[in-house]
Amino acid sequence: METLAETASRVLPGGSFGNFPANFTAARGHGGHIWDTEGREYIDYLIGSGPMFIGHAHPAVTEAILAQVPLGTTYFANNPSGIELAAAIVDAVPCAEQVRFVSSGSEADAYAMRLARAFTGREKILKFEGGYHGMSDSGLMSLAPKREANFPQAIPDSPGIPSSVADAMLVAPFNDLEAALALLEAHADELGGVIVEPLQRLIPPKPGFLAGLREATARLGIPLIFDEVVTGFRFAYGGAQEMYGVTPDICTLGKIVGGGFPLAAVAGRADIMALFDRAKAPEDKFLTQIGTLSGNPVASVAGLATLKVLREPGTYEAVFARGEAMMGAMNTLLRKHGVPGQALGVPVLFDIVYADGTIANYRDMLKSNAAHAAHVNKCMRDNGVLKGDSKYYLATAHTDADIAHTLEVFEKALRTL
């Protein structure tokens, strides 16, 4: 009889969905833990690549889903929960005056760039090297280029992308405000928008970087897009734009906002979002957007239940405190064992970069010792701690005991380097 792994190898390219190594198959999750099909339990810092910020199978989310499912799972029409979720986003997110739902972060980023181009009538988008903006052709420009190029040349990260896409993108180094401003000034009459992760993967913005982008784009009439698919409702209830005090024109949201279901959103200024409204947009600027599952009611009730939990007093303070303690302890252990490295990111989203010195952009990240990272990650997993290749996602469900065990395993891994 064929095993599950053999079936996967036969029917799936590489034996996987393309997200995570094929040698791990999840069976169930609860709170901050996950179990594989062999019954092994792990502390889960993958948390679905970020959506399960309040943990797996949270009772409030489960209750909301079970109440909705008997009423129908999708309608291709407005539904009360989707409208309520849009209102909750508008109430929470500084830039959000209106919301348009899609089903994935990749979709949201692609539509946000298209929206900016349609609004301005200009074709080029400025992004930052190493920034991840989904799986669209535009999003996969200079995400992880295998060769360095002179800025602002864009490099495709996948075969199958038309060469013309590179001509529609400009690329700047993250955290280099001077370089970005020079490109903005030089190409202002061509730029339809600027898209940036407020925290680029793990790299925090330098003081003044985001504010400088905001000032320049506003002055030049170029829409500023914050990709908050990861940071939205994670860094604060109002996202990274609340945490950093910088308000873009458009943002994208995903992961947490769908409560673990396929839901994402584009949100922004009403005059820009009006291009989605046939009654308000000029005929040549109306932006068609249709999605079979957009605003799906099951995803919407899961998102609403998640946001309600996050509004409980002390929620963010507690998870940030645990993350700060974990990052600090890891830095101490690195020094204790003489391993070059540092915890980089913010307390709810970070990893160890195995290099000393300042890490300010994508090329700085390449200094990290990849062999050290792979060794530690394997040791973590072998000892019941699951994480992705490059991130610890903290959840509100992680406990002090989870953090303590993680630190024990981390030290064990450092001893064997």
Distance CA 273, CA 161 (A): 28
* CA–CA separation, 85 and 375 (whole Å): 42
CA–CA separation, 214 and 95 (whole Å): 12
Residue 254 has pLDDT above 90, yes or no: yes
What is the rounded distance in angstroms from the CA atom of residue 268 to the CA atom of residue 282? 18
133-157: b (≥16 Cβ within 10 Å) or e = bbbbbbbbbbbebeeeeebbebbbb
**Threshold 0.85, pTM exceeds:** yes
Going by C-beta distance under 8 Å and a sequence separation of 6 or more, which residues neighbour residue 153? 166, 171
**How does the average pLDDT of the chain come out, rounded?**
96
Position 148 scores a pLDDT of 83
Q: Is the pLDDT of residue 146 over 90?
A: no
Task: Give me the CATH code for the 4-58+314-415 domain, please.
Answer: 3.90.1150.10
Predicted confidence (pLDDT) per residue in 350-403, tens digit: 999 999 999 999 999 999 999 999 999 999 999 999 999 999 999 999 999 999
Give residue 230's pLDDT: 98
Q: At how many degrees (to 10) do helices 59-68 and 297-310 cross? A: 150
According to DSSP, the residues that pair with 227 across neighbouring strands are 252
Give the residue extent of every domain in the chain: 4-58+314-415, 72-310
Dist. CA 134–CA 49, nearest whole Å: 13
d(CA 1, CA 11): 16
255 is catalytic: yes
- Contacts with 401 (C-beta within 8 Å, 6 or more apart), sequence order: none
Give yes or no for residue 128 having a pLDDT over 90.
Answer: yes
Q: Is the pLDDT reported for residue 277 higher than 90?
A: yes
Average pLDDT over residues 187-210: 98
Q: Which CATH number fits domain 72-310: 3.40.50.620, 3.40.640.10, 3.40.228.10, 3.40.190.10?
A: 3.40.640.10
Residue 194's pLDDT band (boundaries 50, 70, 90)? very high
Average pLDDT over residues 82-88: 98
- Residue found under tokens 């007093």: 313
Nearest to 411 by CA among 347, 354, 334, 349: 334
Q: Is the pLDDT of residue 198 over 90?
A: yes
pLDDT above 70: percentage of residues in the chain: 100
Q: What 3 state SS string does the chain have? A: CCCHHHHHHHHCHHHCCCCCCCCCCEEEEEECEEEECCCCEEEECCHHHCCCCCCECCHHHHHHHHHHHHHCCCCCCCCHHHHHHHHHHHHHCCCCCEEEEECCHHHHHHHHHHHHHHHHCCCEEEEECCCCCCCCCCCCECCCCCCCCCCCCCCECCCCCCHHHHHCEEEECCCCHHHHHHHHHHCCCCEEEEEECCCECCECCCCCHHHHHHHHHHHHCCCEEEEECCCCCCCCCCHHHHHHCCCCCEEEECHHHHCCCCCEEEEECHHHHHHHCCCCCCCCCCCCCCCCCCCCHHHHHHHHHHHHHHCCCCHHHHHHHHHHHHHHHHHHHHHHCCCCCEEEEECCEEEEECCCCCCCCHHHHCCCCHHHHHHHHHHHHHCCEECCCCCEECCCCCCHHHHHHHHHHHHHHHHCC
pLDDT 10s digits, 289-298: 999 999 999 9
Model confidence at 89: pLDDT above 90: yes
What value, to the nearest 5°, has the Cα angle with vertex 212 and ends 210 and 214?
A: 70
Question: What pLDDT was estimated at residue 113?
Answer: 98
Catalytic annotation, pick one of 44, 109, 176, 227 = 227
pLDDT of residue 274: 97
Whether pLDDT at 147 is above 90:
no
pLDDT value for 281: 94
Q: How many CB atoms lie within 10 A of CB 317?
A: 8
Q: Spell out a b/e string for 393-402, using b for 16 or more CB atoms within 10 Å of the CB, else e.
A: bbbbbbeeeb
The question of whether 249 is a catalytic residue gets the answer no
Of 42, 45, 111, 132, catalytic: 132
Q: Does the pLDDT at position 117 exceed 90? A: yes
Active site residue 237: no
Q: Which residues contact 7 (CB under 8 A, 6 or more apart)?
A: none
The pLDDT assigned to 49 comes to 96
pLDDT band at 149 (very low <50, low <70, confident <90, very high): confident
State the catalytic residue, choosing from 124, 127, 255, 387: 255
The model's confidence at residue 56, banded by pLDDT at 50, 70 and 90, is very high
The model's pLDDT over 293-331, given as tens digits with 9 standing for 90+, comes to 999 999 999 999 999 999 999 999 999 999 999 999 999
